[in-house]
A = this chain, B = another copy of it.
């Protein structure tokens, strides 16, 4: 798929830092100093702000908003209408109250970063609070509001999002086969839950 960057005639791509093979669709806006990797797909009406960093082979569906301070690793899926955030208690920076003006005088005072690990999926319409780490290959169900960090391979649901299970690299929900042992029904990979509540891949079952 790799090749030149494709920018739709109705899109606005101002960044010089977009990798080969990436496509930017109609009415999307990628700002100057946004960094985007290779072979990504950026849907209609999406917005990537200056300071955001996106890896390779990332799927950014329509209307996604990725701000300064958000870092997306390789192979991530970001569903339609997902909203990231980077300010824990926003006020209008234009408000003429001294502590508010002071807070917004420098990004370090208010900008809270978020990172999405490799291969994770964020379902349609999720809202991601600031200061979150979404672990690699985690999956957030559509409509969730993510208020705490997400372990690797965790399936999260609801508002606020809670863990409802584990998922494989391929995205299938793992089945319990023994105490703290899980198996992917699609690709037969075996996982174990550690005493620390982490989900770790063991090996393929035969």
Chain A residues within CB distance 8 Å of chain B: 1, 10, 12, 26-27, 29, 39-41, 44-45, 47, 57-59, 62-63, 65, 75-77, 79-81, 83-85, 89-97, 99-100, 103, 119, 121, 123-125, 127, 129, 139, 142-143, 145, 158-160, 167, 169-173, 186-187
A41, B62: Cα distance in complex, Å:
20
- The smallest C-beta distance from A18 to any residue of chain B, in angstroms, reads 15
Are A27 and B41 in contact, with the CB atoms below 8 A?
no
Option from B12, B40, B81 in Cβ contact (under 8 Å) with A94: B40
A104, B17: Cα distance in complex, Å:
28
A83, B59: Cα distance in complex, Å:
17
A173, B41: Cα distance in complex, Å:
39
Given the interface pairs A29-B44, A119-B95, the reply to whether A124 lies near B85 with Cβ below 8 Å is: yes
Are B85 and A80 in contact, with the CB atoms below 8 A?
yes
Are A167 and B89 in contact, with the CB atoms below 8 A?
yes
Chain B residues within 8 Å of A93, by CB: 59
Are B91 and A171 in contact, with the CB atoms below 8 A?
yes
Are B121 and A57 in contact, with the CB atoms below 8 A?
no
Interface centre among A58, A75, A125, by most chain B C-beta atoms within 10 angstroms, is A125
Are A171 and B57 in contact, with the CB atoms below 8 A?
no
Are B90 and A123 in contact, with the CB atoms below 8 A?
yes
Chain B residues within 8 Å of A94, by CB: 1, 39-41, 57-59, 75
Option from B58, B129, B167, B171 in Cβ contact (under 8 Å) with A100: B171
Are A145 and B143 in contact, with the CB atoms below 8 A?
yes
Chain B residues within 8 Å of A12, by CB: 10, 26-27
Are B99 and A170 in contact, with the CB atoms below 8 A?
yes
| Chain B residue with Cβ nearest A184 | B99
A10, B12: Cα distance in complex, Å:
9
Chain B residues within 8 Å of A65, by CB: 62-63, 80-81
| Chain B residue with Cβ nearest A142 | B127
